[in-house]
């Protein structure tokens, strides 16, 4: 080792002398993140190598969904409180998180049909169809379906949590309330509707959004909010599409483990719309 190399190493060592190494009484990175619990939660039910991929992809997706819910629910509160700028920040984070969850399908798609069949029977009737966080995201975005609630009756606490989300105003409901707050005329049956019923498009809402887009400078905050909502629905539909194509690639048109029609079901949900007027007005501008 040359003198300059040795001198460089000494300087590097001296500059890092403040690094903590004694954690007998202090919290570590692993402690803070509870990595012992997280990394011990991948329990394969078969001996097949690729089941580990299958478990981790779905666990990671559920963690991203937890963040999406965290930010969406906070954004709803911000909009209801008239703090649109904070809501925009939170919804921007939702969109970025959605981009991450979409890419998870690319990793899962490295699994071949033959590999999945080696452990598929081990799943029993467990299915992503039963993801309660995904249902809560749908509820938060305004798509309400009562029949799915029966799936969660096994867990009384969870069922109550879903019921609360089912009856709560959605992200779009909060946005429409802001249209009314800004002086737009919105039909009373929209403003005072039963939130447990899936939203149906309304001409007064369409006209309000159309005016926002025709007067961007006057209604900049509402315009920005509308575009964030479009981002979120766009990303959600891309997630659904990648889900559908990944399932088709791996199992074709087999019935899903949870009893759904599999790919056919996933194709149908692509037709669901969350913020319909925001898409309709693009034709009328």
What pLDDT does 6 receive? 61
- What is d(CA 148, CA 272) in angstroms, rounded to the nearest whole number? 16
pLDDT for the residue numbered 262: 83
Domain assignment present for residue 1? The answer is no
- Whether 18 maps to a domain, the answer reads no
pLDDT of 18 reads 74
Residue 264 maps to which CATH number?
Answer: 1.20.58.480
Residues 6+ apart with CB under 8 A from 58: 128
Q: Could you list the residue range(s) of the whole structural domain that residue 152 is in?
A: 44-282
In a domain, 22, yes or no: no
Cα gap 122→113, rounded to integer Å: 15
pLDDT of amino acid 96:
97
Q: Tell me if 6 is assigned to some domain.
A: no
- Class of residue 22 by CB neighbours under 10 A (exposed 0-12, middle 13-18, buried 19+): exposed
- Total structural domains within the chain: 1
Binding residues for heme: 243
pTM confidence score: 0.90
As to burial, measured by CB atoms within 10 angstroms (0-12 exposed, 13-18 middle, 19+ buried), residue 282 is exposed
Going by C-alpha positions, the residue among 151, 21, 139 that lies closest to residue 76 is 139
Tell me how far apart the alpha carbons of residues 201 and 273 are, in angstroms, rounded to a whole number.
Answer: 10
Residue 108 resides in a domain:
yes
pLDDT of residue 163: 96
List the pLDDT tens digit at each of the 285 positions of the chain.
665 656 656 565 566 777 887 777 789 999 999 999 999 999 999 999 999 999 999 999 999 999 999 999 999 999 999 999 999 999 999 999 999 999 999 999 999 999 999 999 999 888 888 899 999 999 999 999 888 899 999 999 999 999 999 999 999 999 999 999 999 999 999 999 999 998 999 999 999 999 999 999 999 999 999 999 999 999 999 999 999 999 899 989 888 777 778 888 889 888 889 999 999 999 999
Look at residue 97 and tell me if it is in a domain: yes
> Could you tell me if residue 17 is inside a domain?
no
Q: Is residue 13 part of a domain?
A: no
Q: DSSP per residue over the chain, as a string?
A: --HHHHHHHHHHHHHTTT-----SSS--HHHHHTHHHHTT----SSS-TTHHHHHHHHHHHHHHHHHHHHHHHHHHHHHHTT-HHHHHHHHHHHHHHHHHHHHHHHHHTTS-HHHHHTTGGGGTT--GGG-HHHHHHHHHHT---SGGGGGGTTSHHHHHHHHHHHHS--HHHHHHHHHHHTT----HHHHT--TTSPP---HHHHHHHHHHHHSTTTTHHHHHHHHHHHHHHHHHHHHHHHHHHHHHHHHTTPPPTTSS-THHHHHHHTT--SSHHHHHHHHH-
pLDDT at residue 14 in the model: 62
Annotated binding site: 54-58, 116, 120, 243, 257
Binding site as annotated, residues for substrate:
54-58, 116, 120, 257
What is the rounded distance in angstroms from the CA atom of residue 258 to the CA atom of residue 252?
15
Dist. CA 169–CA 136, nearest whole Å: 12
């Amino acid at each position: 080792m040359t003198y300059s190399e040795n001198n460089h190493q000494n300087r590097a060592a001296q500059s890092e002398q403040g690094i903590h190494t004694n954690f007998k009484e202090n919290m570590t990175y692993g402690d803070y993140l509870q990595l012992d619990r997280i990394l011990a939660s991948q329990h394969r039910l078969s001996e097949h190598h690729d089941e580990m991929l299958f478990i981790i992809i779905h666990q990671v997706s559920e963690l991203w969904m937890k963040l999406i819910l965290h930010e969406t629910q906070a954004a709803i509160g911000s909009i209801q409180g008239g703090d649109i700028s904070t809501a925009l920040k939170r919804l921007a984070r939702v969109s970025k998180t959605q981009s991450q969850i979409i890419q998870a399908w690319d990793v899962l798609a490295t699994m071949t049909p033959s590999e999945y069949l080696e452990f598929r029977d081990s799943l029993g009737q467990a299915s992503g169809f039963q993801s309660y966080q995904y249902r809560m995201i749908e509820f938060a975005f305004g798509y309400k379906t009562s029949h799915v609630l029966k799936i969660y009756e096994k867990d009384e606490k969870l069922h109550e949590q879903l019921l609360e989300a089912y009856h709560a105003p959605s992200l779009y409901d909060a946005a429409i309330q802001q249209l009314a707050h800004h002086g737009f005329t919105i039909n009373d049956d929209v403003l005072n509707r039963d939130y447990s019923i899936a939203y149906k498009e309304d001409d007064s809402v369409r006209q309000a959004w159309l005016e926002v887009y025709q007067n961007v400078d006057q209604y900049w905050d509402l315009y920005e909010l509308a575009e964030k909502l479009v981002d979120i629905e766009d990303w959600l539909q891309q997630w659904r599409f990648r889900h559908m194509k990944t399932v088709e690639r791996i199992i074709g048109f087999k019935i899903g483990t949870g009893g759904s029609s599999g790919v056919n079901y996933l194709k149908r949900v692509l037709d669901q719309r969350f913020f319909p007027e925001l898409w309709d007005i693009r034709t009328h501008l």
